[in-house]
Structure 1
Amino acid sequence: MSDAASPSSTVPPQATGITLVVTERVRLSKLDAYEAWARRLHALQATQPGFLGLHVLRDAGGPVAEYVTLVRFASPQALAAWRATPAYRSALAELDEFTADEVEYREAQGLEAWFDRPARLPAPPLWKNVIVGIVGVYPLIMLFAMLLRPFTGEWPAWAATLATASLSTLFLNWPVLPWLSRLLRPWLYPTRRG
């Protein structure tokens, strides 16, 4: 779902990974064909080394259906290797059949993929991102601190905190932030219609 880039498999993966954010506006008459195409593409991505997962947000409340797909890879090099595959290039050649206008691509690291939108919509202000982050992470920290206490009660404080923070971060990235971003979309992007 992007233009090809040259692969590099010699650089070790970065700890934060990378997310390719793809925004496609699909003609309503082509929805079924597009979704079949996307399922084939996602199945191919799942076999790619370094692929960590994907999440699709769909908004069909307008004259076109908007799909925002977040494709996560272990490193920029793994993403570049995927973009250079013949299977990916072949899939891209079919994309124009379904879309109503230009497809938008953006790479993001960390949690920014859930908040920053493509250039056609302004990103939410930082204070909104912070509030959503707190709303997502605070209950997770409390939950995992309580659940892990029987196992980590005798651990040094730094180790118990690390266990809690690790699980909280894992669940914050998925499924909590995707769910919160959908739930709070009207508040995060108040200028959006539909």
Structure 2
Amino acid sequence: MSVHADSTTSDPSLTAAPPTGTGVTLVVTERVRRSQLEAYEAWARRLHALQAGQPGFVGLHVLRDLSGPVAEYVTLVRFRDRQALEAWRATPGYREALTELDRFTAGEVEYREAQGLEAWFDRPSRLPAPPLWKNVVVGVVGVYPLIMLFAWLLRPVTADWPGWAATLATATLSTIFLNWPVLPLLSRALRPWLYPAQRVDRDS
């Protein structure tokens, strides 16, 4: 499966800053008919513009898989907390947008909620999550080099700081970079190991 992440900010209404490690993430998987791709993306831009003005909205990120007979869009929408997400779901703009969705999609739209780093494990929508120990291994592989790197880079600045403050600075930067781009890239690169039952075609 070839997955393309919309990570630029040239069109902020389609793709804003990727979510961070806090709050709640709504993961939406939509399979879009190829004849409706242009109309769907125009609809998505309007929806994302509405989300950007919603109190409690943090950011969103879009993954597109155009390799199959239908296009698959996985959108991660981050809100500050569950109350902010529920408030968004109750808005007239969101409810009205949902009434248009059926004309673009082939099959049922899938929704799931994820907390913290869970959303960044790039899970194929039709497969169960990998076992916990594999998620732990991926997390350690991602975070350990970051801790070592930032501890070294920050040493000239934090050498005279209390130990707890120096560790906090290192942990903060490591967490930011773990969320983006390290963990998404790692989970995608290790997908054949995380999901051995699925045949994966890597990007060329």
Global fold match (TM > 0.5): yes
- Quick one: percent identity of the two aligned structures? 82
TM-score normalised by length of structure 1: 0.85
**How do 1:90-109 and structure 2 match up within 5 A?**
90-109=96-115
Paired letter, 1:187:
W
> Helix, strand or coil: the match of 1:169?
helix
C-alpha displacement of 1:79: 0.8
Unaligned runs of 5+ in 1: 1-14
Count residues with an aligned counterpart: 180
Tell me the SS of whatever aligns to 1:123. Answer: coil
Measured against aligned partners, the alpha-carbon deviations of 1:66-115 in whole angstroms (never above 9, x if no partner) come to 11111111111111111111111111111111110111111111111123
Structure 2 gaps of 5+ residues are 1-20
1:63 aligns to 2:69 (yes or no): yes
In terms of mean alpha carbon deviation, does 150-159 or 180-189 score higher? 180-189
| Displacement over 4 Å in runs of 4+ | none
Relative to structure 1, is the Cα distance of residues 42 and 185 closer, same or farther in structure 2, using a 3 angstrom cutoff?
farther
- Residue 116 of structure 1: CA displacement? 7.3
Does the 8 Å CA contact 1:106/1:118 hold for their aligned counterparts? no
Secondary structure of the structure 1 residue equivalent to 2:67: coil
Contact 2:31 2:106 in 1 (8 A): yes
Aligned residue number for residue 132 of structure 1: 138
Tell me which residue corresponds to 1:10: none
Q: Conserved in 2, the CA contact under 8 Å of 1:116 and 1:123?
A: no
Moved more, 125-134 or 17-26: 125-134
Give the structure-2-normalised TM-score: 0.81
Distance 1:43 1:172, change over 3 A: same
Deviation at 1:50, TM superposition (A): 1.2
8 Å contact from structure 1 (residues 18, 75) kept in 2 = yes
RMSD: 1.9
1:180 counterpart = 2:186: yes
In structure 2, the residue matched to 1:33 is 39
User: For residue 160 of structure 1, what is the aligned residue in structure 2?
Assistant: 166
Partner amino acid, structure 2, of 1:90: E
| Pairing 1:150–2:156 present | yes
Q: Secondary structure at the match of 2:170?
A: helix
The 1-side partners of 2:198 and 2:124 are apart by 13
1:191 to 172, 175, 197: 197
Q: Distance in 1 between matches of 2:94 and 2:162?
A: 48
